[in-house]
Chain A
């Protein structure tokens, strides 16, 4: 066998993947790592400023508000979606009628575009002539329209939309975990007189531990990173109430063309620094969670 020829062949087959990954995946990250030490607005001269951008991040009120918003958003999303997904998974793991159809229905939202659904939800939650308000006023005798996307409820609304899109995914992951639990454990516990609730508490939860740890970690990262649907539905408004950190970063790189937006100029250098800080925040939370939840994976 011709070894040199094989190696050359391997490299040639790897080349398209390697070059695309380097140029469009790795290079942009290095670009950001470099510019976080620069003052650069996308045009004109770039000026090395050392850690000045990071000092500015520390003082940036709007950014820290967006961090707080992100925690509210992620926390709300997790608190609603994880328990609901777990309950649905446990039920649909029983041998009930129509379980396949129900699984398919609950999973459906995850295949639809987040942006498209955000547009649809916008028309549903719209305070003026929104579909939800029409129904509420007609059938539930609510006197005045609820301002679902206003200051008071906007965060709740975007959380509900996020939960709608996420539950099916986590349900399916829980289901996969449940199916790995041997059935005879349940059978022998039933012989010992355990009811379904006891089985859930003393068998399902502990045996699902490692899988649950991973699903929640995935969910945390996703919740901290998600901003597409918020961008379409509220664009961070009203008055920054739903501005999350990834949306804040986005706007530093692609400032809105008009209107009374918070930032009007491109801030490539500063934006890179903010992005780095957000990545660190996500990283720290992930690590904290991972070590804090170790008991879950010990399976006892």
Chain B
């Protein structure tokens, strides 16, 4: 048997959130990933974020591609429908699902091989369309599931476990997302849960496409000296931009802030992001500045984490298409079929 049922023993004193669920209700099957895999920490952060956001677990649709990272949706939100699609093509499936029912919360989970190699096209086009989703790339610079080949985010010159040096330049998904106009762009680190949970909460609450690139070291294939995605390397080069807290159900606070202060960004669903700006010059609503900032730090060999960009007034694909508020999958023959009389008119016009 390759699945393990988790004992569902609820401790009576487990605290419940506003919609009556315990943290346990946001868990899934026991992970089959390598112990210590960064992806499991991200799963834990997703569980925490959904619980704190009071999202009803079954109102989340979790979709993924193929890879170790893409297996993770089985390991959280056990009462949600999950869909492990094909390699690199999660964005299109999620787009279709989202078109069918705009009433759910969409979470896309992918890997760097999945999104930056085979799925680069779909990554790019989901952003272009502004699909309302939290798109999490669990980025370890390697193909985990196929055992250690380089992915397209692997740094040039980094060395694989087998001792091969990577001669190709990396693709930076954050830079790309900013360039393409994603309305929420963030980067986290799987080992930094204090920062990651709010970033996920922000992404889930954001209407429009939210890209969250999470550096997620692979203990099996990318945690050795010479790798630029190892725990040690990232910790040394991590330049935290800001910290954010989510404050529920509060009125919007104006976006006006000074170095060292807090900035509140109101999202469409009413949640408020509180950004603690550590860098005195950083303004996450300024996309062009974000691009420059990311590029600058990249050139210094640093990994920038935090909420790099958010457009609080973003529209999403349904907005662009002008679709009705009722989910399309709930419309029936009465709403959809023009009927026999209209057809008779059409016939008459074709004679």
Q: Do A and B come from one complex?
A: no
CB within 8 Å of A: which residues of B?
none
CB within 8 Å of B: which residues of A?
none
